Structure 1
Amino acid sequence: MQTRSSTGFNTIPENVAAVVFSHLGDDPRDRVALAQVSKVWRDAEKSDASLPGGSPRALFELGRGLYDAGKRKRAVYWWRRATGDADAICWIGSCYLYGYGVKRDVTKAVEWFERASRCGHAEATYYLAGCYVEGLGVEKNIVKSLELYVKAAELGEKGAAYALGFIYRYGPYARRYAGDASRDNDAFRDVAVNKTEALKWHRVAVELGATYAQDEVDALEAELAAA
């Protein structure tokens, strides 16, 4: 490689070089090797936000690309370095919940979901509510789960709004109507049926983009009108 000639790599614009860096694999050795070629690549390495020390958002996106490519262990590696990025924190929790790229550990999953929820992350709050329903990593607490579903819905999580509508529509039998044949079908045994509340949350779900909740809205409006 002629790195010092007028037609060599030193003539490559730094922004173009940075793009090349952003598309390299997750092995830091590849980046180091390319940075050694010439000054322009070294400057690109310093300016590339996807490198360690770059922005937390860029590190999350780097991890997301690896996750989508099936490299989940490497994805978690980079997400751990995306300090403060709520999406990265939530995805680490999800990996612990399902055992993707790490050994499954529901207690750690809850810890990561709690961190992301404190950052105002809607999906993490939704996951955390589910953990309280199932008793995954925490003691079952339906009151707490309902509070978290409300918080998640208020943060914009359509699944949480739909869950609330379903729970209030069927009360103690919510899981049965959801087709849940698990060992514990009475998780919501202390939740009273409240179709007005159910309608409210299903409407919220539709507003948030859960078009599948429209059938529930229509059915509940008809039931309440006939009452």
Structure 2
Amino acid sequence: MTTPTVQRENKLFFWAHSLLLAIVLIGFGRSFFLRPLFATSTLPPLLALHGAVLTAWFMLTVLQGWSALTRRRSWHARTAWLALPLVVGVVASGFWVNTALALQIASAQDPENMFIWGNYMSLLSFVVLVALAVVKRRELAAHRRLMLFASIAIIGPAFARFAFWPVFGKSGLILAPAFAGAGMLLSVAVAITYDIATLRKPQAATWIGLAGILVPLVAGTGVALSGVGFALLHQG
């Protein structure tokens, strides 16, 4: 890629990561960041930790995007190591939150069952996409795309939270999976459209990212609807 193209992409991906962070801040605003204003109960410590680690991940991607945009390569390299503990924290705390919720539902037909298994699959996809991004760290175009899709893979719960806004009444639990899936797919569609508009075709990393979003959604839905996931966690 030419220097102007690289700088244009640096700017675009910085703003893309900033938008994802904004979605997290707004989506979890009522239930996490501004919780004292909307709820009287406090979050369990591990759930609060999960929220903090997840937020830190999205903040780090914005920081990394900013350092690339401003050509602070040494800063970008020095802060990249922070990704490892955050990835571990996101996956470990996310697995705990999902499992704790999964053990509370009464049947495979519970609407939350689909959301739970989508989250399990998305965590796996997140790890794979981050690992591929690290492998491709010297191929900047691929690295940028894989890191963005890794964040999109775990943005679903933030989109889902919009379904619980008062305007949607008591339909939040039913609408949440649709909000999560639609938000993630829209993000993917924008990325593909960008590649076609600027590079004439989606890049290989974009196709990998698309698979990293679609496969977890389809697999999670299948495991949930079949009842296999519920039986697995509740056997015995």
TM-score normalised to structure 2 length = 0.25
Q: Which has the higher contact order (CA 8 A, sep 6+)?
A: 2
The alignment's TM-score, normalised by the length of structure 1, stands at 0.25
